[in-house]
Amino acid sequence: MIFPDYRPRRLRQNETFRRMIRETRLSVDDLILPLFVIGGRNVKNPIPSMPGQFQMSIDYLVKEARLARDVGIPAIMIFGIPEKKDAFGSQAYAKDGIVQRAVKSVKDKVQDLVVITDVCLCQYTDHGHCGIVQDGVIDNDATLDLLARTALSHAQAGADMVAPSDMMDGRVAEIRDTLDENGFFSIPIMSYAAKYSSSFYGPFRQAARSAPLFGDRRTYQMDPANSLEAVREVTMDIEEGADIVMVKPAIPYLDVIYRIREEFDFPIAAYNVSGEYAMIKAADQLGWLDGRQVMMEALTAIKRAGADLILTYFAVEAARELGGST
């Protein structure tokens, strides 16, 4: 293919040609909207580092879930902010916990919307870590039962899918066994399989009030330098019973998404995390770039890398760009 016989610009000369040969097509069906739920009524607290995102009481969460459904988004992911925290994160698996009540309300009032729940302890523990702490060390095996109890309580509340994000070894198998033993054979697990210890989570930790009070999460979340390790993590989660595997964050780890896509014929999700969202929003507000165009370019890149599903705070905006209802 040598110029002038081959001229790639021939098929770029107008939008119709470009649309006809477009290789990657982003769809509203690819999107999952993360939402933060908090106690009380008529509460809608802005998250300063995430413009346009809020901590919402259940009544507002239901409205936001209905909006997501109405613009064509197929699923939401619920993150809970409890009123009380303790060393064992007991509100994570309490029958009347904030997530459990939110799930029941959304499932009761919003039809045709998949409700996914984040399964972790970090928002619920008084130390902010994702597992039980023993003598200053996160005890992997002691945490597994609590994660499984959390997932079970979400399923009992009506969740359509559970998503463990803790990165404890063996938690997918523990959750799968617990769900099956209690008759929830049809509840899928979307595992945060390759979750990196990333600085891009900063705004989320403000939103979810989940920053660790000591140390960091590098003993259980992955080293950002590693790619082969992601393959091992994904392999383990699939073997333990995960139905969908996730890479988090998304944009700084497009190579990892691509590698997992090449290695596995399996549904892949990618989380376009809070820091990615915040950077685009901040630059747009400062007039440094066109936020709408960069949003769509970023989401398309995640899709092009191989993600089937994209968790993103841009979901409603992107759905409207893609022609969803208003």
Q: Is 44 a catalytic residue?
A: no
φ/ψ of 56, rounded to 5, equals -125, 140
Strands 54-56 and 44-46: antiparallel
Dihedral Cα 47, 77, 244, 256, nearest 10 deg: -10
43: CB partners within 8 A, 6+ apart? 55, 56, 57, 60
Mean pLDDT of the chain: 96
Q: CATH number of 24-321: 3.30.1490.190, 3.20.20.70, 3.40.50.2020, 3.90.1150.10?
A: 3.20.20.70
Confidence tier at 295 by pLDDT (50, 70, 90): very high
As a whole number of angstroms, the distance between CA 67 and CA 78 comes to 15
Please identify which of the residues 44, 85, 109, 195 carries the catalytic annotation.
195
What pLDDT was estimated at residue 264?
98
As a whole number of angstroms, the distance between CA 134 and CA 124 comes to 16
Indicate the pTM of the whole model: 0.96
Q: What tens digit of pLDDT does each residue of 98-111 get?
A: 999 999 999 999 99
Q: How much is the average pLDDT of 284-297?
A: 98
Q: Is 195 a catalytic residue?
A: yes
- Asked whether the beta carbons of 256 and 192 are under 8 A apart, the reply is no
CA atoms lying within 13 Å on the CB side of residue 8: 2
- Asked whether the beta carbons of 318 and 296 are under 8 A apart, the reply is yes
Instruction: Classify residue 189 by its DSSP letter.
Output: B
**Is the per-residue pLDDT at 301 higher than 80?**
yes
Please identify which of the residues 95, 107, 248, 281 carries the catalytic annotation.
248
Instruction: Classify residue 296 by its DSSP letter.
Output: H
As a whole number of angstroms, the distance between CA 280 and CA 295 comes to 7
Confidence tier at 148 by pLDDT (50, 70, 90): very high
As a whole number of angstroms, the distance between CA 11 and CA 30 comes to 27
Percent share of the chain, pLDDT over 90:
92
Helices and strands per DSSP (H, E), number in the chain:
11, 12
Q: Is the model more confident about 211 or about 266?
A: 266
Q: Is the backbone of residue 221 left (phi > 0), alpha (psi -120 to 50) or beta?
A: beta
Confidence tier at 150 by pLDDT (50, 70, 90): very high
- Asked whether the beta carbons of 116 and 190 are under 8 A apart, the reply is yes
What pLDDT was estimated at residue 324?
59
55: CB partners within 8 A, 6+ apart? 36, 37, 38, 43, 44, 45, 47, 81, 207
Q: Where are the domains of the chain?
A: 24-321
Percent share of the chain, pLDDT over 70:
99
**Is the per-residue pLDDT at 167 higher than 90?**
yes
Q: What tens digit of pLDDT does each residue of 237-254 get?
A: 999 999 999 999 999 999
What pLDDT was estimated at residue 110?
98
Helix (H, G, I), strand (E, B) or coil at 306: coil
Confidence tier at 325 by pLDDT (50, 70, 90): low
Q: Which of 59-68, 84-93, 168-177, 197-206 has the lowest mean pLDDT?
A: 197-206
As a whole number of angstroms, the distance between CA 248 and CA 200 comes to 10
